């Protein structure tokens, strides 16, 4: 009987000791968890700050619409506003802007694909746009892939009356010393714009 009682006491003491040990471990983990949580919150705040900084850095690109490099307007109520012409490190010049349809019918960019046979398959787009370097006497066409698709915006279903749409077109880079070019789209007047970057 004593042996059984001793065994029960020993077992009870072992369970109590294990419980105390678990409590200590959990408390220690809880303490670290709290400091880890604080660290995570600090990291999140730091990353939030980085995110805000990135947003602020990108805001000029997003707010390009506030800058107007040139405008082109046709007699039938189509207006092209050029907001940026940026020289990229990869050897390109990217022109961005908006097309406003102030007419009473849907605009399908007829003729804007240009006269090149391979570019006609681009549908309603600015595939026929070009940059003219008057000083260097060179014309730069919109870049295209091996299937003849332009590196430019395609207005898939056209632009409804009273609406507008953003566009971009990529060209081979002009020489660094060329900072001013004529931007042309078939059927539209020419706009002289400045290249940055």
Per the model's pLDDT, the better-predicted residue between 181 and 8 turns out to be: 181
pLDDT in tens, 22-49: 444 444 444 444 444 444 444 444 444 4
Whether residue 75 has pLDDT greater than 70: yes
Angle at CA of residue 65, ends 59 and 71, nearest 5°: 155
pLDDT of residue 158: 93
pLDDT of residue 15 exceeding 50: no
Which residue has better confidence, 55 or 14?
14
Q: How confident is the model at residue 64 (pLDDT cuts 50, 70, 90)?
A: low
How confident is the model at residue 197, as a pLDDT?
A: 83
The larger pLDDT score, comparing residue 11 to residue 174, is at: 174
Say if pTM beats, i.e. exceeds, 0.85. no
Inter-residue contact 118 to 148 (CB < 8 Å): yes
In our burial notation (b when 16+ CB lie closer than 10 A, e otherwise), range 64-103 reads beeeebbebeeeeebbbbbbbbebeeeeebbbbbbbbbeb
Q: Tell me the pLDDT tens digit for each residue of 126-170.
A: 999 999 999 999 999 999 998 888 999 999 889 999 999 999 999
């Amino acid at each position: 009987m004593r042996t059984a009682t001793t065994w029960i006491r020993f077992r009870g003491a072992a369970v109590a000791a294990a419980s105390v040990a678990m409590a200590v471990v959990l408390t220690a983990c809880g303490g670290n968890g709290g400091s880890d949580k604080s660290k995570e919150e600090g990291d999140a705040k730091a990353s939030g700050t980085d995110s805000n900084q990135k947003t602020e850095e990108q805001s000029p690109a997003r707010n390009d619409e506030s800058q107007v490099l040139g405008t082109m307007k046709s007699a039938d109520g189509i207006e092209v506003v050029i907001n940026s012409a940026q020289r990229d490190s990869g050897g390109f010049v990217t022109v961005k802007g908006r097309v406003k349809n102030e007419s009473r019918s849907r605009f399908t960019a007829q003729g804007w694909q240009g006269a090149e046979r391979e570019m006609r398959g681009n549908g309603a787009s600015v595939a026929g746009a070009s940059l003219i370097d008057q000083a260097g006497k060179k014309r730069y066409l919109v870049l295209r892939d091996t299937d003849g698709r332009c590196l430019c915006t395609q207005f898939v279903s056209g632009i409804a009356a009273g609406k507008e749409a953003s566009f971009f077109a990529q060209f081979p880079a002009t020489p660094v010393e060329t900072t001013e070019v004529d931007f042309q789209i078939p059927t539209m007047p020419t706009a002289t714009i400045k290249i940055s970057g």
